[in-house]
Structure formats: C-alpha cells, structure tokens
Structure 1
C-alpha cells in the first residue's frame, strides 16, 4: 500500500481515543473503551501493513542497529510512515497507561489533560511528566481504587 496514505491514516485512527481521554475522562464510555489495550490496534495494524511486506529490510536494520542504518531506513517514505505509525501506536498505549493510572490515583482530569496532550506530541516527555506528578502528588482515592474507602 501507499506509505503516504498509511501515514495519513495512522493518527486519525488514534485520535478518537485521545479525544475521549482528554475531553470526556469521566464518561462511562471512555472508561469502558480505554480499559481495553486493544485501542492501540488500529495504528499498530497500519504499522504491520507497512512493515510486513518489507520485513527483511526492516528487520535487518533493527536487528543490529547502527545510526546510519536506522537513519537510512527512516529516511525513506516507507521508513518514515512506519516510524510514525509505530510512534502513534505506542504513544496511545502510553497515554492509556497515564489515563488509567491517573484515574486510579485520583488525579484531577484538568491535571492529567495537559500531560496527555504532551504525550501526544512528545510521548517520552509526557511519560516523564506523569511519573513526576505521580511521585509528588499524594495518592487519593480514585475512581478505580476503592481500597481506601472507610469501613461502615
């Protein structure tokens, strides 16, 4: 398939899940949908469609990674589109972790939303921001954590 088309499809396949986590974090539909790790499947399938027909080329570059080989692979339309789909799939999976972990810890959605936006744009920095917040914010009873509920 055309790498340009698949490149263009990768983010729109993930965008509805990001929108749910950021814009409707407390909605029961959001909680039910995001509970499944399968939300990362659509962009992962784009990656598979790009990589599997060229598996030997891609595998050779990543099996013994060298900067020049990775740069050469990513410098092609196929490599760039595959890299983009890879980023989108894993960024969404990391965003899902952040969303679920924040809900469990009782972090307010207005605190989590900017972290999720940062994760969309620069996922490792979003993950670092979440881990820092996780370390400094006190754990509160969240929507998924009922262990702190007082006995009656």
Structure 2
C-alpha cells in the first residue's frame, strides 16, 4: 500500500467536503453528501486501514514495535511510520469534519450568520478542538435565547 497516496486521497476528500460545507448552500442533499461521501468515507478508509494494519494484511512500512495507547512512547511508536501517520491523520480528518458538520447544522438551527460560522469552521478544519471551543462559546447566547440547550 502506498501510504502517501492514501494520505493525499483523504486530504482531498476532506478538502472537498469542507469547501462544500463552508461555501455552498446547505441543502439537505449537500449535508447528506458531506456526511456520507465525506465523513463516512473517511471512517471507512480509517477502519479498513486500521484493521488491515492490526491484522497484518497491510504492511506498516516501517518500525511499529511497542505501539500502544497507554504511554507516550507507545503512541509515538504508532506514528513512527507512514502507515500510522496516514491512518491517524484520517482519524483526525473524520472527527474534525463531523464536528464541522454539527457546527454548521447547529449554527443554521440557531440562525447564527454564516459569515460568523465560516471562520469558526475554518478554525475547526485547521485546529479541531480550538474551533469547537470557540463555537461552544459563541453558541451559548443563541441557545439561551431560544430557551434550550440542544
């Protein structure tokens, strides 16, 4: 497996989905496309890569000994080869895009301007938890104004 090609593919999928989410009208079909052709596709690629690596069906392409989630050294070992980086990056892209879709839907439901949403979505794309934190702060007054926290 060429992990560089996979890395480039998932970046392209994410970039198209984020571009659509930020720039295009949010018709139900577009939101479904971001969910299933963006997020679900990234999740499928992640799952296939992870299962392939764990089962030994896909080569790691470098050292992977001592990999685990319980120590810093173990996590470093996961990312010590191209396979770990590509699969880990796909994980980030899928979750950040999921959060971005939630922010967009939540913002539209709370009638928060798309001009205000756009930089927050960009921040979520670039630095996921930072964008989410900003959104949680921004959405609070709108949620209270609507008399609910959903």
Name the CA distance, whole Å, in 2 between partners of 1:90 and 1:138: 23
Name the CA distance, whole Å, in 2 between partners of 1:32 and 1:53: 32
Name the CA distance, whole Å, in 2 between partners of 1:134 and 1:27: 19
What's the CA shift string for 1:2-33, capped at 9, x where partnerless? 11111111121122221122112x342xx322
What's the CA shift string for 1:76-98, capped at 9, x where partnerless? 11111111111111111111110
Which of 65, 68, 79 matches 1:61?
68
Name the CA distance, whole Å, in 2 between partners of 1:89 and 1:52: 17
Change (3 A) 1:9 1:138: same
Alignment size in residue pairs: 135
- Residue number in structure 2 paired with 1:92: 97
Does the alignment pair 1:11 with 2:11?
Answer: yes
| TM-score, normalization by structure 2 | 0.79
Give the CA deviation at 1:46. 2.2
Name the CA distance, whole Å, in 2 between partners of 1:7 and 1:49: 14
Further displaced range: 78-87 or 11-20: 11-20
| TM-score, normalization by structure 1 | 0.78
Does the alignment pair 1:117 with 2:122?
Answer: yes
Q: RMSD across aligned C-alpha pairs, in angstroms?
A: 2.3
Larger relative contact order (CA 8 Å, sep ≥ 6):
1
- Residue number in structure 2 paired with 1:104: 109
Name the CA distance, whole Å, in 2 between partners of 1:138 and 1:79: 39
Q: Which runs of 5+ in 2 are unaligned?
A: 56-63
Name the CA distance, whole Å, in 1 between partners of 2:16 and 2:4: 21
Name the CA distance, whole Å, in 1 between partners of 2:30 and 2:145: 24
